[in-house]
Amino acid sequence: MRALVLTGPGEAEVQEVPAPVAAAGQVIVDVERAGVCGTDVELFTGEMSYLHSGVSSYPLRPGHEWSGTVTATGPGVDESWLGKRVTGDTMIACGHCRRCRAGRHHVCDKMRELGIRDGLPGALAEQLAFPTTYLYELPPTVDATVGALVEPGGNAQRSVTAAALDPGERLLILGTGTIGLLAAMIARSRGLEVHLLGHHLDVARHLGFDRAWTRDTLPGLAWDGVIDATNSPDMPGLAVQLVEPGRRVVWIGLSGTPSTVDSREVVLKDVTTVGILGASAGLADTVRAYASGSVDPRPLVAATVGLEQAADVLAGARPAGAGPGPKILIDPRR
């Protein structure tokens, strides 16, 4: 089968690789859509910290935002999975340790990440072998495009939940990329007053978020919760400065250099800070939100291109005719 392979920093090519065979507890998925995100770009450029710590290495097959159809089952797998459209968790854990048993498998010491860490080839390929333990069936109202946005939606879902706000309260989201905009959509569906801060606000306003600001125009309001969905080292500290005393700051963005946060301000304002790693606990709620139509992520997709164009997308190229949204999807069947 064809798969995208990262062969070194700034180097990627589509290669013919052995098709996967379903092991015990696994299915084979024909991948219909796979998303490209910032983590994939950092793996391509060589900036991803896992490459420096030895957790990941080249050659590497990326892709952790995906949807597809089950076409084969391995030993011990119920054949009712055949023909179902599915997506899956990125975090694949041991399932037996104290953290896994407590529902925190995404921080398991033996946790592997699909398409990110070594050992689990990703979904930027025609087929994918995947364990049923971490599989999610997609209802008929969730098509291939929307299914590939479940994983980023799960991260956004967890972020909004962690802000712990009631309907009518005011949420400020720093960042207008895919996660920031998905968090805004989810927060709006929960009845929150949503504000966004960013540099590029056209997409946010097109999605109906009129309360979209730059640093210069941000009003001096009381922010009941703040989510930082940027990659700027300055934003985590700004979030603490802006949030109301006694409320919550949620950090889901990761900067390339260490962020500076004054812990004295956290203490003296009695602020609760929450870090979000991965979508795991938010996936089921995201599938339900997409299926019900309360959140429609499709306007975020700027273009869908074939596997041969994936390397150009990772290098920062914008496909011809792309819309204004931040997300590029890959159809590996093209």
Q: What would the pLDDT profile of 214-262 be if each residue is shown by its tens digit?
A: 999 999 999 999 999 999 999 999 999 999 999 999 999 988 889 989 9
Residue 192: which pLDDT band, with cuts at 50, 70 and 90? very high
pLDDT digits (tens, 9 = 90+) for 160-183: 999 999 999 999 999 999 999 999
Residue 272's nearest CA partner among 247, 255, 243, 294 is 247
Residue 107: which pLDDT band, with cuts at 50, 70 and 90? very high
pLDDT cut 90: percent of the chain above it: 98
pLDDT (0 to 100) of residue 202? 95
**Domain contains 287:** no
pLDDT (0 to 100) of residue 256? 82
Same domain, 144 and 197: no
CATH number of 67's domain: 3.90.180.10
What is the rounded average pLDDT of the residues 21-49?
A: 96
Pairing status of strand 193-197 against strand 212-213: parallel
Range of the domain at 51: 2-149+297-331
**Domain contains 284:** no
Same domain, 72 and 6: yes
Same domain, 200 and 232: yes
pLDDT digits (tens, 9 = 90+) for 115-174: 999 989 999 999 999 999 999 999 999 999 999 999 999 999 999 999 999 999 999 999
Same domain, 84 and 120: yes
Distance CA 60, CA 17 (A): 12
**Domain contains 172:** yes
Same domain, 110 and 213: no
Same domain, 307 and 248: no
pLDDT at residue 313 above 90? yes
Same domain, 96 and 22: yes
CATH number of 179's domain: 3.40.50.720
0.85 exceeded by pTM: yes
Paired residues of 212 in beta bridges: 196
**Domain contains 190:** yes
Same domain, 64 and 16: yes
Neighbours of 80 (CB within 10 A): 10
pLDDT (0 to 100) of residue 275? 98
**Domain contains 282:** no
Distance CA 304, CA 98 (A): 41
Same domain, 91 and 161: no
**Domain contains 104:** yes
**Helix or strand (DSSP H, E) at 2:** strand 2-8
**Domain contains 291:** no
Burial classification of residue 320, based on how many CB atoms lie within 10 Å of its CB (0-12 exposed, 13-18 middle, 19 or more buried)? exposed
For 85, the token pair is 């459209």
Same domain, 141 and 39: yes
Distance CA 142, CA 294 (A): 12
Same domain, 29 and 138: yes
What is the rounded average pLDDT of the residues 188-195?
A: 98
**Domain contains 280:** no
Same domain, 194 and 158: yes
**3-state SS of the chain: helix, strand, coil percent to 5?**
30, 30, 45
Residue 57 three-state SS: coil
Distance CA 211, CA 203 (A): 12
pLDDT at residue 286 above 90? yes
Angle formed by the axes of helices 178-189 and 283-292, nearest 10°: 70
> Contact at 8 Å (CB) between 298 and 182?
no
* Total tally of structural domains belonging to the chain: 2
